Amino acid sequence: MKFSSRILNIKPSPTLEVTALANAMKAKGIDVIGFGSGEPDFDTPQSIKDAAVRAIESGKTKYTPAGGIAELKKAIVHKFKRDNALEYATSEVIVNNGGKHSFYNLMQVLLDPGEEVLIPAPYWVSYPDMVMLAGGTPIIIETSRDSGYKITPQQLQAAITKQTRAIVINSPSNPTGATYSRDELSALAEVLVQHDILLISDDIYESILYDGNAFVNIANLSEELKKRSVVLNGVSKAYSMTGWRIGYMAGDESLIKKIDILQSQSTSNPTSISQWASVEALMGDQRVIAEMVNAFDRRRRIIVNGLNEIPGFDCIMPPGAFYAFPDIDGVTRLPGWKSIVERYPGPYASSTLTSYLLEEARVAVVPGIAFGIDRNIRLSFATSDDNIIEGVSRMKEVVGRLI
Ligand SMILES: *Cc1c(COP(=O)(O)O)cnc(C)c1O
């Protein structure tokens, strides 16, 4: 069969692939420890589940407006005001089928062929492919450990062309946890205001911040910047609701209207039941978030301290999100590395190490190359303390053989 060049140009989500591989091994009875999946391991809070049950029992099981029910739009407006000091009208917000769908829709209404979207690397695996699916060109701005995995105003200036339509800022970041301060965002904003570029702020990890750091996004800096911004968020990460598929965004009314049209001709409304559950998530007791963040904070210390004891690993303490992103360059300089490359050949060191860890240690991690950087691997620490301790000890044992 012939397929469109659109679909032939994109690759499956590497994080979902690693999870599927680990699950397939588990199904065969192999005891694999999974650090691949990017989702909280906690159950969805009971009050949110109860709201969904109430929605089912009261017959809220039919089509809703394509862009979401009025009650949820009001809850989103309330949330932006309460948590982010951002004022929006309900006509400036829309509900989508997950945050991934929000970004997908945004690309579809924004881009014509050849138009560019700036994506700082390491990036979330899906951004470049969603840009390409819309016919656009992802422009990757590379960062390193030295810059804290954050872009500088100089890099930004150098990357902007006449074709640039948007930039995506994901802070705290998946996969690095890097979090931009108010001053760093202001410095980027000085460059951005000189150009007509849409600022996309992917705030999905806003509540998963450690060490008492307060969240700030680029739309917070001025009314002018807010007008140029689209703020994207969702309930998946904050409320452990990945399976419910509710994301949302806020921005210019004319843009939101176009996304409403796209959604009305593609997916129609996000699930009615999930929408009612999300009203409860956003309006109900917010302490459920702090409880999860406390657990993540404890696990963050366990995993980072453990990873730094593995030969050749060098891991910073991430300031946000729930991923450890160790630099593994040192592993490639261990005496035994060459024999590993012979067994798992390929151009990418991070993939070679990932295969070795999966086969020998039965530990599933994601190669950094999936996020646009080959010097690292990503481990989600949204898993139990016991899994972390056991997984890290297995990795230490098999990497130790390379000394
Ligand atoms: C998880 C995630 C999302 C959205 O996930 P959904 O489940 O589709 O809402 C968006 N951006 C980043 C960076 C993520 O890691």
- Structural domains of the chain ordered from first start: 5-43+288-400 (3.90.1150.10), 47-283 (3.40.640.10)
What per-residue confidence (pLDDT) applies to 200? 98
Tokens of 81: 């005001």
Candidate from 96, 202, 248 with most ligand 1 atoms within 8 A of CB, to mutate: 202
- Over range 218-228, report the average pLDDT: 97
Distance 390 CA to ligand 1 centre (A): 27
Query: Strands 116-121 and 229-234: what pairing?
Result: unpaired
Could you report how far apart the first and last alpha carbons of the chain are, in Å? 50
Cβ < 6 A, ligand 1 pocket: 38, 98-100, 124, 170, 174, 202, 204, 234, 236-237, 242, 247
pLDDT > 90? residue 21: no
Which residue's alpha carbon is nearest to atom 15 within ligand 1?
174
Which residue's alpha carbon is nearest to atom 10 within ligand 1?
99
pLDDT > 90? residue 13: no
The position carrying tokens 């979902």 is: 16
As a whole number of angstroms, the distance between CA 164 and CA 156 comes to 11
Give me the long-range contacts of 43-46 (CB less than 8 A, separation at least 24). 43/240, 44/239, 44/240, 44/241, 44/244, 44/277, 45/239, 45/240, 45/281, 45/284, 45/288
Write down the mean pLDDT value for the chain: 96
pLDDT over 70, % of the chain: 100
As a whole number of angstroms, the distance between CA 185 and CA 219 comes to 10
What per-residue confidence (pLDDT) applies to 179? 97
- Over range 244-271, report the average pLDDT: 98
pLDDT > 90? residue 346: no
Is the pLDDT higher at 27 or at 174?
A: 174
Which residue's alpha carbon is nearest to atom 4 within ligand 1?
99
- Over range 248-265, report the average pLDDT: 98
pLDDT > 80? residue 145: yes
Question: What pLDDT band is residue 130 in, cutting at 50, 70 and 90?
Answer: very high
Question: What pLDDT band is residue 18 in, cutting at 50, 70 and 90?
Answer: confident
Range with the poorest average pLDDT among 23-32, 247-256, 351-360: 23-32
The position carrying tokens 């702020």 is: 201
What per-residue confidence (pLDDT) applies to 243? 97
pLDDT > 80? residue 17: no
pLDDT over 90, % of the chain: 92
pTM above threshold 0.85: yes
Distance 397 CA to ligand 1 centre (A): 33
